[in-house]
Amino acid sequence: MILKKIAVIGAGASGMMAAIAAAENARVSLFDKNDIPGRKLLQTGNGKCNFLNESDPVPHFRGSIADSGILSGIFESYDRDRILGLFSSFGLLYHKKNGGYYPRSDSAASLNDVLIGVMKEREVIFHPQIQVKGIEKKGDQFFLDLFHLKHNKRSKDETPFDAVIVATGGKAAPKTGSTGDGYYFAEGFGLSVAKPLPALTRLLSPDPFFNDNTVRASVSVKLFIDDSFTAASQGELQVNAGGPSGICIFDLSGRAARALNEGRSCRISVDFLPELDVEELFSLLLRKAERIGAEDPPSSLFNGIFSDRLSVNICEKLENLLFKGRSFHGILSDSLIRDIAVLIKDMSFDISGTGEFAISQVTSGGITAESLNPDLSAKNVPGLFFTGECLDADGDCGGFNLHWAWASGLTAGFAASGAVVCF
Ligand SMILES: Cc1cc2nc3c(=O)[nH]c(=O)nc-3n(C[C@H](O)[C@H](O)[C@H](O)COP(=O)(O)OP(=O)(O)OC[C@H]3O[C@@H](n4cnc5c(N)ncnc54)[C@H](O)[C@@H]3O)c2cc1C
């Protein structure tokens, strides 16, 4: 039997999984700019690799691929248990922490090594330090235009491929090789691409609350777009110079990026004490106010509630909101204390932008659903597939984006090779 020849462009999480799936039934060549596969994978989860989450991933995604139903169909075929079973069959031991799955070794390298080992077993040919510059289709076959980074030399690869899987990632963390080349290939073949924007990143705010006084606080946050509630999140807020950060902010950043790109207004409302309701906080602050002496600074109202640094930031914000910049020291009435309690549970900050791609974990936007079949092949170019982060689907923190990389890679890999039986 003559096996199909398949090229996979990009040896990230989705490219490796696509190569492994396709190699069940085809001869696979895998190209990457880097000298080793999985350059970005090694950095995931702070080097520990949160590769899956116990929750249903579907509600954790945005973008046209999610809205169209393509994403839910793919996750139905490759749900959490299927992916765990697959990694077990590859020889990976894993464990669960706070709802996320990690390699038992807590080392991203061990998961990467497992994938590299399976690729070797399946005789995937890895071509390191090669940048694919172009894809040409002649009749039913594809030819690649290659740039050899080590030798600084361009060449046309004479090998005809029956199918090409583009797994070039998005534009996030470009130092790992993901510089948006897949969008360029897609547009060259007439596919539609939603503007790529940074996601899972910090937000920017002009509010002076975000000064050099770096603080962390356990909060819940709501995102409002054009003053309508859009999404909520909770966790550790990092108050940094120029804007908020932390995982609860990362999870809202993709929605904020899309809205700001459309010229809509964005703000967040932070509840600095989600565990207390307004009445409980009001009574607590009343008791605290009785103890403040004439010589104590206003921030002493929050002694034992917030860290010193956070108390100072919150006092400054309250003074601007309630007292036109004057200190509220010595003028605290019951009704002002109630206003303070309300504001601590609903403090608004305008959002003016997001962090750049260099410090973002994923890309929002990419190749849209209207150009693709449910098996991730291009509607207008038979044999051309796209997988992973280059697609218009971005998920929350917690292992969801890697679940998408595995599931979309398996879908494209099996479909490209024409496999009937899938593992
Ligand atoms: C710091 C960080 C931490 C993260 N942590 C997590 C986490 O814990 N859990 C989670 O679920 N997600 C995490 N993510 C997100 C997750 O890593 C990505 O969504 C996922 O790796 C995307 O996989 P991919 O294969 O689509 O793309 P990528 O991993 O970006 O791989 C694309 C590959 O294509 C190659 N390439 C690009 N263009 C070309 C070309 N023209 N020719 C040849 N090769 C090319 C690149 O060199 C790269 O190796 C994290 C991301 C970052 C940056």
Q: What is the pLDDT of residues 244-256, one digit of tens each?
A: 999 999 999 999 9
Out of 247, 401, 408, mutate this one to test ligand 1's pocket (max ligand atoms within 8 Å of CB): namely 401
- Please tell me whether residue 384 adopts helix, strand or coil conformation: strand
Atom of ligand 1 nearest to the CA of 49: 8
Q: pLDDT at position 51, please?
A: 98
Atom of ligand 1 nearest to the CA of 52: 11
* Model pLDDT for residues 193-226, shown as the tens digit of each residue: 999 999 999 999 999 999 876 789 999 999 999 9
Q: What integer is the mean pLDDT of 178-187?
A: 98
Rounded to 5 degrees, φ, ψ at 59 are -70, -10
State how far the Cα of 242 lies from the Cα of 246, in Å rounded to an integer: 13
Candidates 237, 255, 253, 233; CA nearest to 245 is 237
Q: Which amino acid is at 129?
A: Q
Q: In 122-246, which residue ranges form alpha helices assigned H by DSSP?
A: 181-188
Q: pLDDT at position 85, please?
A: 98
Atom of ligand 1 nearest to the CA of 133: 41
Q: What's the CA-to-centroid distance between 363 and ligand 1, angstroms?
A: 10
State how far the Cα of 111 lies from the Cα of 17, in Å rounded to an integer: 12
Q: Which two tokens stand for residue 17?
A: 């999984």
Atom of ligand 1 nearest to the CA of 50: 8
Q: For atom 29 of ligand 1, which residue has the closest CA?
A: 12
For 312, other C-beta atoms within 10 Å of its C-beta total 18
Q: pLDDT at position 291, please?
A: 83
Q: What's the CA-to-centroid distance between 57 and ligand 1, angstroms?
A: 18
Atom of ligand 1 nearest to the CA of 388: 26
Q: What's the CA-to-centroid distance between 80 and ligand 1, angstroms?
A: 20
- Is the per-residue pLDDT at 325 higher than 70? no
Q: What's the CA-to-centroid distance between 294 and ligand 1, angstroms?
A: 57
Q: Whole-model pTM?
A: 0.94
Q: What's the CA-to-centroid distance between 93 and ligand 1, angstroms?
A: 22
Atom of ligand 1 nearest to the CA of 387: 26
Strands 26-31, 4-9: parallel, antiparallel or unpaired by DSSP?
Answer: parallel
Q: For atom 47 of ligand 1, which residue has the closest CA?
A: 177
Q: What's the CA-to-centroid distance between 10 and ligand 1, angstroms?
A: 9
Q: What's the CA-to-centroid distance between 9 and ligand 1, angstroms?
A: 12
DSSP state for residue 155 in the 8-state scheme:
E
State how far the Cα of 328 lies from the Cα of 201, in Å rounded to an integer: 35
8 A C-beta contact, residue 324 and residue 165: no
Q: pLDDT at position 165, please?
A: 98
Q: Where are the domains of the chain?
A: 4-198+362-417, 202-355
- Is the per-residue pLDDT at 423 higher than 80? no
Q: Which two tokens stand for residue 339?
A: 């206003």
Strands 52-53, 100-103: parallel, antiparallel or unpaired by DSSP?
Answer: antiparallel
8 A C-beta contact, residue 26 and residue 417: yes
> Which one has a higher pLDDT value, 215 or 59?
59
DSSP state for residue 161 in the 8-state scheme:
B
For 129, other C-beta atoms within 10 Å of its C-beta total 15
Q: Which two tokens stand for residue 337?
A: 């204390």
Q: What's the CA-to-centroid distance between 292 and ligand 1, angstroms?
A: 53
8 A C-beta contact, residue 323 and residue 333: no
- Is the per-residue pLDDT at 421 higher than 60? no
Q: pLDDT at position 279, please?
A: 97
State how far the Cα of 359 lies from the Cα of 356, in Å rounded to an integer: 6
State how far the Cα of 378 lies from the Cα of 386, in Å rounded to an integer: 8
* Model pLDDT for residues 390-419, shown as the tens digit of each residue: 999 999 999 999 999 999 999 999 999 987
DSSP state for residue 176 in the 8-state scheme:
G
Q: For atom 6 of ligand 1, which residue has the closest CA?
A: 44
The residue behind tokens 């919150």 is: 314
Atom of ligand 1 nearest to the CA of 38: 49
Q: How far does CA 401 lie from the centroid of its chain?
A: 6
The residue behind tokens 């003559």 is: 2
Pocket (CB within 6 angstroms of ligand 1): 9-15, 31-34, 39-41, 43-45, 49-50, 131-132, 167-169, 172-173, 177-178, 181, 361-362, 388-389, 399-402, 405
- Please tell me whether residue 52 adopts helix, strand or coil conformation: strand
Q: Which amino acid is at 151?
A: H
Considering the four listed CATH numbers 3.50.50.60, 3.40.190.10, 3.40.309.10, 3.40.50.2300, the one that applies to the domain covering 4-198+362-417 is: 3.50.50.60
DSSP state for residue 78 in the 8-state scheme:
T
* Model pLDDT for residues 371-389, shown as the tens digit of each residue: 999 999 999 999 999 999 9
**Residue 18 banded pLDDT, cuts 50, 70, 90:** very high
Q: For atom 27 of ligand 1, which residue has the closest CA?
A: 169
